Amino acid sequence: MVRTRVPTPHGEVFLHLYHNNRDGKEHLAIVVDPAQLNTPADEEPIAKPIRSKSLDEVWEGENSEMDRIIRGAYRGRLSEVGFRASSPHRSWDAFTNKFGISVPAPLVRIHSECFTGETIGSMRCDCGEQLDEAIRRIAEPTSVTLPSGEVKTIPGRGAVVYMRQEGRGIGLLSKLRAYNLQDLGYDTVQANLMLGHGADERSYGIAAAIMRDLGLGAGEGSEDIRLLTNNPDKVQKLEAAGVRIAEQVSMVPRTWRCQGEEQSPEPAGTPASDAAARLRSAGATLIGASMTRGPELEKYLRTKVLRMGHMLSLPPSDSAGNA
Ligand SMILES: Nc1nc2c(ncn2[C@@H]2O[C@H](COP(=O)(O)OP(=O)(O)OP(=O)(O)O)[C@@H](O)[C@H]2O)c(=O)[nH]1
């Protein structure tokens, strides 16, 4: 495992790259925990830091602080000047916050790789938008009230566990074949089945192991989590793998939040710019073409709701019987 800091439009995140001996793929965890950047090493953070146990362990054959730095086992922001070793071996299992307040459970998303949606901006799915939206929502600050009555804003925290399960686990090659079948009119479920695959071949054992390592919903001293998903199968499989989910938080596609309004390009004063402004004022960072939309995305989203049981309300036109 290796960890590094990455600045993003939503703030600085820590990218953890995990090796495993089950499927040989490199899965990732994108950890949002600004307290690790802002809290001086000798001060208690307000919420439990999201730390990887395997990263903090001393590894066999590790001889110097530089070895640990190179693999990312440090706290705070590295810089040539002013780096502090910062109690690298401390375990946070028994963490209690000394401010006497309860903070919201960390927000977590288990995201599945989608080359087409995330890298080339395909409008067949909303995967790129979901990844952006997940990091934005995890990083969103919240207000807490101190025992003195003072209201304090604390940064959002949580993680996206990024699983290399392209095409719901069937792989990119099969997904591209499925797209060709979809062009003939089949939906995403039918196309998978016609190719001899299951509708969804993903498993969540490795995701649960990563969460255990990070103390998110599983493992010694871990916190319960809030899970960002609409997928009931994901919730059920994670719980079966021992992950404690305090709350399921849904993700409404941006296009369904702004139904009927034009968008990109966004000349000022148009419904498009209003829709984008509303999303921005809600904190959204709109990337690329603002939001994904179009008939193919519409069909994809409706299939998720109608055939895969995703917990989302259809927009008014669909619930009126057009599905
Ligand atoms: N087989 C197949 N996979 C697709 C298609 N479109 C997107 N995907 C994959 O679907 C995965 C994302 O899963 P979704 O079903 O969209 O969402 P989810 O993760 O199950 O549910 P949420 O947590 O609510 O987002 C990614 O691995 C994508 O590569 C498609 O048309 N066919």
Ligand 1 mean position, distance from CA 303 (Å) = 11
**For ligand 1, mutation pick of 112, 119, 180 (most atoms within 8 Å of CB):** 112
Residue 90 CA, distance from chain mean position: 26
Query: Which of 74-88, 120-134, 173-187, 261-275 is least confident?
Result: 261-275
Is residue 106 one of the residues assigned to a domain? yes
Average pLDDT (46-74) is 90
Is residue 75 one of the residues assigned to a domain? yes
Is the pLDDT assigned to residue 214 strictly greater than 70?
yes
Cis peptide before 141 (omega within 30 of 0): no
Is residue 95 one of the residues assigned to a domain? yes
- Name the pTM for this structure: 0.87
Whether 128 lines ligand 1, by a CB cut-off of 6 Å, is no
| Residue tagged 């307000």 (tokens) | 46
Whether 304 lines ligand 1, by a CB cut-off of 6 Å, is yes
Q: What's the rounded Cα separation, in Å, for the pair 203 and 84?
A: 40
Is residue 49 one of the residues assigned to a domain? yes
Whether 230 lines ligand 1, by a CB cut-off of 6 Å, is yes
Residue 217 in tokens = 């919903």
Is residue 40 one of the residues assigned to a domain? yes
**H or E stretch at 107:** strand 107-112
Is residue 270 one of the residues assigned to a domain? no
The pLDDT, as a whole number, for residue 259 is: 65
Alpha helices in the chain (DSSP H): 35-38, 53-56, 65-71, 115-119, 127-139, 172-183, 188-194, 205-214, 232-240, 254-257, 271-281, 295-308, 316-317
Residue 43 in tokens = 């001060």
ipTM for the complex? 0.97
Average pLDDT (258-276) is 47
Range of the domain at 230: 2-165+202-253+292-312
| CATH code (residue 127) | 3.40.50.10990
Query: Which one of the listed residues 68, 202, 226, 302 is annotated catalytic?
Result: 202
Residue 320 in tokens = 């009126």
Ligand 1 mean position, distance from CA 65 (Å) = 41
Q: Is 136 a catalytic residue?
A: no
Q: What is the pLDDT of residues 165-204, one digit of tens each?
A: 999 999 999 999 999 999 999 999 999 999 999 999 999 9
Listed in sequence order, the residues at least 6 apart from 98 whose beta carbon sits closer than 8 Å to its beta carbon are 44
| SS3 of the chain: helix, strand, coil, percent, to 5 | 35, 15, 50
The pLDDT, as a whole number, for residue 272 is: 42
Whether 293 lines ligand 1, by a CB cut-off of 6 Å, is no
Q: Which amino acid, one-letter code, is at 56?
A: D
Query: Which one of the listed residues 33, 126, 187, 200 is annotated catalytic?
Result: 200
The pLDDT, as a whole number, for residue 37 is: 76
Calculate the average pLDDT of the chain: 85
Q: Which atom of ligand 1 is nearest to the CA of 200?
A: 1
Q: Is 109 a catalytic residue?
A: no
The pLDDT, as a whole number, for residue 284 is: 44
Q: What's the rounded Cα separation, in Å, for the pair 110 and 29?
A: 9
Is residue 41 one of the residues assigned to a domain? yes
pLDDT level of residue 292 (50, 70, 90 thresholds) = confident
The tally of domains found in the chain comes to: 1
Is residue 215 one of the residues assigned to a domain? yes
Q: Which atom of ligand 1 is nearest to the CA of 109?
A: 23
Question: Of 152, 137, 138, whose CA–CA distance to 101 is shortest?
Answer: 152
Whether 36 lines ligand 1, by a CB cut-off of 6 Å, is no
